[in-house]
Amino acid sequence: MPLVSATLGNILASRREPLLAVLNRLYDQLGNHADRYRSRRDPNDPDLFDYVLYLADDQNDWHTFRFSVDDRQATGFLFVVAVSHRQGKLRI
Amino acid sequence: MSNSTQPATGDGIRAQLECLARLDWDMPSFAQALQALLAAVDYHDVTLIRSHLNTALEALRDLVNDAIAKRCASLELLRDTWQKTWEMLKARPSENCDDMRRVVEGRLTAILENFTGLRDGPVRLLQERGYDVARAAQLDRCIQELEGLRHGIFENWPWSDEELPPVDRDMVAASRAAIARGERGERIEDLIRRLGANPTQGE
């Protein structure tokens, strides 16, 4: 959804490479292996499951992305309806 | 040179010396000194024991100084290896980084234990007997640097079982409202293409 892609762009400061890495991973895993993740239901919203992705970026930051995926809006479709994020610094 | 060496007699001392002898010291002069010392222990010759013990400890001191120099020199290689590992991680977002963490942390911990083992074992033994280990302070600095490296790497490394960031319920509601209005959003592959790349698949 537009809000999700806009938020992702903000988090990664529109840096192309990490953004594409995340999007390609989403595309691959949700497109081909969504059943691996469906069982991790959002405890407060049974229509959602969590897809969690970790990213190390070129500014020595760790990112934890929690994507909320709605698999009950329409049969055969997955809607990534939200993303939340945590960031941590690699200090070396 | 120490003036506080003690004659070594008895089974307990012998057992400790044999433990030392079994370590992979790669130092012929120390091994020879230790063998001579063990022979003196067998003969219960206190004068000879004292003499060979001193020789063995001096050889051990040289060996320990060499070992410290080698270990501290390896720190640069370790940093370089870590940078390469981080470069690999950057290219691969992942659903779980626990295994990688276990591998890296296990290796770093083993190296740190090796360093501290040298400090708390042979270096301390020599110092307590009055031998000056010239590189002891260097070893302390290397251990501090290694501990700092380990802390810096793992302080924020995400575990898969740690608490997740809270769901943005407002974003969920706004996205659902858009779907209800018939706005289905952009397919991920189309978004990737809009960014000038081709969607890729495969693990």
Summarize pLDDT for B68-95 with one digit per residue, the tens.
998 888 888 888 878 887 888 887 899 9
pLDDT band at B1 (very low <50, low <70, confident <90, very high): very low
- Selected for mutation to probe chain A from B175, B187, B189, B193 (highest A CB count within 10 Å) is B175
B157: tokens are 């490394």
From chain A residues 32-71, the ones with a CB under 8 A of any chain B CB are 32, 37, 42, 44-45, 48, 50-58, 60, 62, 64, 66, 68, 70
Mean pLDDT in residue range B172-193: 90
Mean pLDDT lowest for which of A32-36, B21-25, B38-42, B66-70? B21-25
pLDDT score for B10: 47
What is the per-residue pLDDT across B109-149, written as a single tens digit (0 to 9) for each?
988 999 999 999 999 999 999 999 999 999 999 999 999 98
- Cβ atoms of B4 and B23 within 8 Å: the answer is no
CA distance B186 to chain A (A): 6
- Who wins on pLDDT, B78 or A81? A81
Mean pLDDT for the stretch of residues A31-50: 95
More confident residue, B43 or B14: B43
Q: For the residues of B160-188, what is the DSSP string, one character each?
A: TTSPPPPP-HHHHHHHHHHHHTT-----H
* pLDDT given at position B76: 83
Q: How confident is the model at residue B25 (pLDDT cuts 50, 70, 90)?
A: low
Whether the CA torsion B191, A62, B100, A40 is positive or negative: it is negative
The predicted pLDDT at position B202 comes to: 67
> pLDDT value at position A2?
84
Q: What pLDDT score does B8 carry? A: 38
Q: What is the mean pLDDT of chain B?
A: 83
In Å, how far are B131, B169, B182 from B185, measured between CA atoms?
Answer: 74, 18, 9
**Residue with the larger pLDDT of the pair B48 and B30:** B48
Distance from CA of A68 to the nearest CA of B (A): 7
Q: Is the confidence at residue B169, as pLDDT, over 90?
A: yes
Give the minimum alpha-carbon distance from B151 to chain A in angstroms, rounded to a whole number. 8
